[in-house]
Every structure is written in C-alpha cells, then in structure tokens.
Structure 1
Amino acid sequence: MTISGLKPVARQSTETMVTEHLRDFILSGQIAPGGRLTEIALAEQLGVARSTLRMSLHRLAAEGMVTLVPYTGWHVAALSARDVWEIWTLRGSLESLASRLAAERPEPEVHDALDAACAALETACAGGSLREITEADFALHRAIIAASGHGRLAAQYRVVEQQVQLFIATSNSFVATGPEDIIAQHAPLIAALRARDPAAAAAAAWAHDQTEGARMTEWLAAQETTPA
C-alpha cells in the first residue's frame, strides 16, 4: 500500500478560525459599514477569550476589514468616497487586464472554469440568497484573475482582495436593488468572456467596476445626508 498521495491535515489555531468566522460575518452584509463590533458580545457568541478575539480583530484591521476607533471600540470599516475611488480604479485596472488575457487564452479548460464561475453566479442570483450571490460574485472575479495566467497580476490582486470582497459585499447588500440587478451588472462581462472577445471583455470589466464605483459613491453620499 502506498500513501504518498495523502496530504497532511491542516491544523488551524483558534485565532485563525475566529478570524475566518468574523470575516465571513462581515462579508455577509449582516452589519452595515461603520457598524460597531462589541468585544464582550462577540467573545461570548464565539465562545472564546477576549484576548483571542482581540488578536483576530487586529488581523482583520490589517486587511482593512475593521477599524479601531479610540475610546469607542471596533467598527466594520466604513468606506469613504476616496476609498471607493481607489478600490474600483485599482480593481478595474487589474480585472480589465485579466479579462483581456483570459479571453485570449486558447486552453479549453480555462474557459470551462470561467463558464462554471459565470454559471454559478447566474444560479446564485436565480436562487436569491444574498450570501450565496456575494460568494459567487467574488468567486467569478477571482476566477477571471486566475484565468489570466498572469502570476504577478494575481499577486497584486491578492494584496487588495479582502477590500474588494468588502466592496462587493457592501454593494450587493446595500446598493444593489436585488438579484436581477446584480446579474445585470455582470451580463456584458459574462457575454464577452463566453464569446472569447478580449477587447469586449476588457471594456466590460472596466465599465462594471466604474459603474459600481459610481453607485457606491452615490449611496455613501445619501447616507451622509440621511438623519440617523
């Protein structure tokens, strides 16, 4: 008997698991940007020590997911208009190039993976679960990056992908008008990728990020003028 194909079981620390749970909670859209995170309540809910929880929050702060406000406590990161502009322009540049390169790839398996990611988003939108839609939404953009075959591009995307996830979760939860709106946002990009049209894919990716950036900026402005 040979066991050379077996891989070691990954062991995760409690801090890592708490960090993942908190990240998933934030990205679920159950708490709005700027929402307060109470250490005592979170530690009790997760069944961990406050010191462990605090270390996880500091890790999420390094990812740009949460912020620590002096004398106030922890809050979900609240995107400013400048944050939105920086995220969508950087994301748009990377995703536009990745979409062009992905559409140019000749390998059938690359396009099979893209088709699967596109179909997963369409299925999630048809199902109506916001959590599943948001997961499939980010998975599609991540699949485009992977399909580009550009290692350095992928490395740069990983630097900001947590903030991209927060952007997508916020947009889908508070800006989009529903599943039909979300799938409509992606329709030109999906069509261009399926048609294997590099120029159209690049343009659609940029237009998608630009449009969502503008909508997010408008939503933020509306929150500032709405009485608490």
Structure 2
Amino acid sequence: MKRRSQLTIVHRSLEVQAADAIRKEILSGILPPGSRLLEIELSERLNLSRGTIRSALQQLTYEGLVEQFPYRGCAVSGLSSRDAWELYTLRNALEGLAAKLLAESITPTKTKILNTKLQQLVKAAKLGKWQQLANTDFALHKTIIELSEHQRLQQQYKIVEQQIRLYIVSCNAIHPDLNEIRLQHESLVDAICSGNAEVAEQIAQEHNGDGQALIAHLKALEQKND
C-alpha cells in the first residue's frame, strides 16, 4: 500500500505579495502610466529582495500592467487607442456571452450573489469613491463571468482581467457621471436576474460603450503628441 505524501500548506509567497502591492498602486493611479519601476527603489520601499521584486515585475509584465525594456528596466504600461479598442471589442465578446449564459441559467442563489455585488457598486457610487467604484465595477463583471459556469470563458477572461481593470479605471476617469454608471449596472443585473438572455447580452455590450469614448480620447491625445 502506497503511503500518501504529506500535504503542505503554502502561504502566499513574497513574490505574490509584492506583485499585489505594486498592482494596487498601478490600478489606484499612485503609479501612473510611464512611471519607472526601479528594482532598488521598490526593494527598499517594500523591504524585499531585488530577486523578489524582479519576479513580481515579471508577473505584472505577463498581466500587461508593466512593460520591460532591454537595458532600461521596467515602466508602468499605458493604454494606447489600439489597446483600448482591443479590450473594448474583447469585453463585448466575453462579457456579452457571460451575461447571456448567466441569464439562461439564473437561480435564486446566483441572483442573491449578483445583487450583493451590485449593492457594493451602488454604495461606492453614492459615496463618490472612485477607486472603490472601479474595484466593485470589476468585481461585478468578474462575478458574472464566474456565475456563467463556462470554464474556458473564465480562463480566457483571467488572462486579460488585470488589463480590463485598468481599462475600467480609464473609462470611469473620462465618464464622471456616477449615477449613470450605477444605472447601467442596475439595468444589466435586472436583465440577467429576470432571465432575459437576449436583453442581458445586449446591455452588457452597450454598457461597454464607454470604451468608444476612451478610444476617441486616446486617439486625440496621440494625434496631439505626433
């Protein structure tokens, strides 16, 4: 009879914690696009080894939040108009499908989970807390992806989810109407919970319409800097 190997509980590694800390500063705007990310400075500030910081930056590069330049180190990624267009069209496909699938498979339990996430967003909007709004906005959409129970859809979303978070922050920054953001999400959740798959898919895609404004805004900036 084979002996079972002893299970080991692995706590979150220092590399993961470092990546979490740097990611939070990027998504909150503390480290804006273009900011240099120096291993020595980050190592001293986070009280971690340069090797740990290097591993964290590699993870953030994979996520699309950091760019690495040969012989020049790393910098925080910014969204170009092309980046925004790609994320806009990809969100339409992924989140539209997820909303449709969830509406088709909605249950009382899923409805309760979804409404809990919605109320967190509504609270953030009413308080005027932009960072909290961005976080709850993303959390609601990720919950829709997860509740769709489509594993491959979830896997594809996970690859770009940090870039989508950056995209949401950027969209909200040029769309200051907190009440409109709240109403958009309330309409989406209402369509899903009512089981209207076609309408849910349409609203999910139309809700992403702020992306068009972001694309136009970034194009204007690029033309100005040419």
- Common fold by TM > 0.5: yes
In the TM superposition, what is the alpha-carbon distance from 1:87 to its structure 2 partner? 1.3
Provide the residue aligned with 1:17 in structure 2.
17
Moved beyond 6 Å, runs of 4+: none
Provide the residue aligned with 2:138 in structure 1.
138
Aligned with 1:223 (options 200, 215, 221):
221
Residues paired across the two proteins, number: 219
After TM superposition, the structure 1 = structure 2 runs for residues 72-91 of structure 1, keeping only pairs within 5 Å, are 72-91=72-91
Question: Structure 1 pair 212/62, CA: closer, same or farther in 2 (3 Å)?
Answer: same
In the TM superposition, what is the alpha-carbon distance from 1:155 to its structure 2 partner? 1.8
Q: TM-score, normalised by structure 1?
A: 0.86
Q: Which runs of 5+ in 2 are unaligned?
A: 1-6
Provide the residue aligned with 1:31 in structure 2.
31
Q: Is the contact made by 1:32 and 1:170 (CA closer than 8 Å) also made in structure 2?
A: no
Deviates more, 1:161-170 or 1:54-63: 161-170
Cα distance in 1 for partners of 2:28, 2:162 equals 13
Q: TM-score, normalised by structure 2?
A: 0.86
- Deviation per residue, 1:161-185 (Å, 9 max, x gap): 122122112323x322153343244
Letter in 1 for 2:143: A
Q: Is the contact made by 1:96 and 1:201 (CA closer than 8 Å) also made in structure 2?
A: yes
SS in 2 for 1:86: helix
- Deviation per residue, 1:65-120 (Å, 9 max, x gap): 10013454321111222211111211211110110111122421011111111111
RMSD of aligned alpha carbons: 2.2
Q: Which runs of 5+ in 1 are unaligned?
A: 1-6
Deviates more, 1:18-27 or 1:35-44: 35-44
